Structure 1
Amino acid sequence: VNGNYRRIDQLQVGDRIWSLAIDGQTLIEDEMILMMDAEPNSSISFYTFITFDGHFLSLTGTHYIAVIDTDLNKTIYMQASKVTNKHQLIMQNRTVKINKIIQSFRTGFYSPLTTTGNLLVNNISTSVYVASYGVLPEILHRVFTPIRIYYYLMRWLFGNNYNPFKSNITYGLHPLPAFLKANKTTIRFLYNIEQNIILIIIMTLTIYLSQKYIKRNAI
C-alpha cells in the first residue's frame, strides 16, 4: 500500500497490500497473513493471460481467478486452466479482454493467503485459492475464517511483528493448509450438511490452532 511493487515470492507476513473487491471498483487495504505454499524448485504448468492493452498475468492451472463470464454477464471464479478468450479479466473500474493465453512450464510457484482471499497481480484481480482443496474459493474463504480470527488475535496480543503461523518448514506446503487438504473430503461432506457446517469447521480449526498454540508455549 506504500506504492511499491513486490514479487509474490518476496511477500512477508504482515505486508500491507492492495486487493480488489468483488465489485471490481473498490480497492481494499489487505494483509498477507500466511504463505500457504512455497515451491521454488518445482516445475509446474502455468497459464499466461495477455490482454489487448498489454497487461499480463501468469497462474498455475489450478489457481482460481475472477473473470467476467460474458454469457452469464456476471463475475465468477474459474480455474486458470479453464479460462478462455471469451472471458474478461478484472482490473480496477474496468474489465479487459484476453488477447492470448499461453501455456508453459515454469520452475517455482508461491501461494500467499490474504485476509480478503484476493490479490492484485500486475493490477489484475485474482483469488489466492487453488482447486486442490476440492471446494470453490467462496467456500474456502469461509473455511479460513478462524485462521483470520486467530491471526488478528495473536497479533493483537503479541504485537505486529509476531507471526502466529511460523513453521520450521521453509519450503513446501505449510502445515495448516496441509491439514485442510488432508481432510478435504470430510470438509466437503460436512459442508453439504446444510448450514451447520461452517460452525463445525470453525470449531475443528479452532481446536487445531489451539493445540498448535499450546504446544508452542509448552516448548
Structure 2
Amino acid sequence: MELQRNINSKNYLFCLITVISCFVFGYILPISIDHVESLTLYDYFNSVYTVITQFGPLVFSIVIIYVINTDYREKNILFYSSIGYGPLKHFLFKLIPVCLNLSFTLLLTTGVTCILYKDFSNYWIMFAYYECALLSEILIASVFAFLFKNILMAFCLNLVVWIGQIILSTSSKVFSILAYYDASNHLYDDLQKYLSSGNRAFVHITQSLIYDFVLFLIVVMIIIVFRKRWIKNGV
C-alpha cells in the first residue's frame, strides 16, 4: 500500500531530483569554485561525497520530512491505527519506500558516472560511502518528522541539530562521532587518501554500516518512547 501511495504521490521524482542534483553540483562546484579544468573520476567522486555530506542534511531532510508529515497533514493517522498499524510500523513503512527510491537512484547515478568515465573499479566502494552517508541523514531527519507535525518546525530543528553537531565535532575530537560523515571527521580524510592512493586500508565501509545500524536502533527507541505523539500529531 505504501509503495503504491509513493508512486501515486510522485515522491520518487523528488528522490530522483535530489540525488541527481548532488551529482550535478559535484561536477559544477570544483569547476566553478576551484577552477579545475579537467575533473578526474576520483576528484569527481570526492566532490559528490562532499556535496552529499555537507549539503545532504539540508537537501534530503526536506524530502523525508515531507513524506512522513504528509499523513499528519492529511489526518490519516486514525485510519492507519484502525487497520492495525502502530507508530513504529507506520514509521518504518513510510521510511522504506523513500530509502529504496534514494538508494536505487544513487546506484543508477553512480553507475552512469562510471560509464561516462569508463572506470568501474571504485563503483561499489563509492556507492557504499554515498549510501551510508545518505542513510544517516535520512534517519536523523525522520526523527524530527515523526515528533513534530509542523514541517517548518521539524526542518528548522533538524537544521539546528546538524549545525550543532558540526560545531561540537570541530571543537573537540570527543564529539567527532556526532558528525561522523562531516568533512571535519577522519572518515572524510581517509576517503581522500584512498582515492589518491588506492590503498584499501583507508576504506571504512564496515565501520560506517555499524554506525548507521546503531543510529537506526536509537531512532527506533525514540519512536517507541514517544509513540503517543503519533496519535497526538495526527488529530
Does the TM-score normalized on the shorter chain lie above 0.5? no
TM-score (norm 1): 0.28
Q: Greater helix share, 1 or 2?
A: 2
Identify which of structures 1 and 2 has the higher relative contact order when contacts are C-alpha pairs closer than 8 Å and 6+ apart. 2
Q: Greater strand share, 1 or 2?
A: 1
Larger gyration radius, structure 1 or structure 2: 2
TM-score (norm 2): 0.27
